[in-house]
Amino acid sequence: MHKTTVPAWAIERGRAMHFFPAIEAKKTALLVIDMQNYFIAPGQGLANPVTLSTVPTINRIATALRKAGGQVLFSRHTAVDEGSGKLPPWISRSGPHAESHAALTAGAQGHGLYRELDVQPQDQIFDKYRYSAFFNAAIDLDKHLRSNGIDTVIVTGTVTNCCCETTARDAMMRDYKVFFVDDATSAVTDEEHAAALLNMQIAFADVRPSDEVLALITK
């Protein structure tokens, strides 16, 4: 777990816009962002022990939300060579980028969801091709959520300051209530994680630890 906290002044400022006293499960979806082997499994290119440590916490939230009638969705960051999901030409394909591209291609070991995640048959698994799960994904996430009566999302996964933050920002801009779970998200460093949480709390989400999120879930 990252050793970071959101400053009290940021919590106070953010709660003027984003303070939600309850989570109505039937109107809520848990978004588990990119919890794939490449970012977690020992020996994989960007394996991070902090990300690994969040798996039990994400599983607890998923179990509680399903039990109360909510939905759970897992995204997989996916590299492609053709189509609208292809990265722009100015992003290098050499060095670490080349390794990531190969590892996150559909069918590669690194692309798969980590084996210890609690994925159930009713859950939705979908590929996404850019940072946000709301942009250029294999499903129209906004349409999917709205068609299922969802108005609240809980963001978990990795990396805090990239795909998680971008997804949360996009959700807020689409008028979803956004919870961002500080101990169920992870980044490469404590500093990056802290910076993202600060941004989330001030302007985009209700940032809380998992114990508080679990306590707010109602049927």
Instruction: Select which of 3, 26, 27, 34 is catalytic.
Output: 34
User: Which residues, including other chains, have CB under 8 Å from residue 214's CB and lie 6 or more apart?
Assistant: 60, 61, 64
Cis ω before 6 (30° cut-off from 0)? no
Q: Give the residue from 82, 84, 108, 81 showing the smallest Cα distance to 93.
A: 81
Token pair, residue 134, equals 């709301």
Instruction: Select which of 128, 170, 182, 206 is catalytic.
Output: 128
Asked if 34 is an active-site residue, the reply is yes
Q: How far apart are CA 93 and CA 99, in angstroms?
A: 8
CA distances from 187 to 7, 57, 103, 205 (A): 19, 16, 19, 18
Asked if 128 is an active-site residue, the reply is yes
Strand pairing partners for 206?
A: 179
Instruction: Select which of 123, 142, 151, 163 is catalytic.
Output: 163
CA distances from 126 to 8, 37, 90, 91 (A): 36, 15, 27, 24
Active site residues: 34, 128, 163
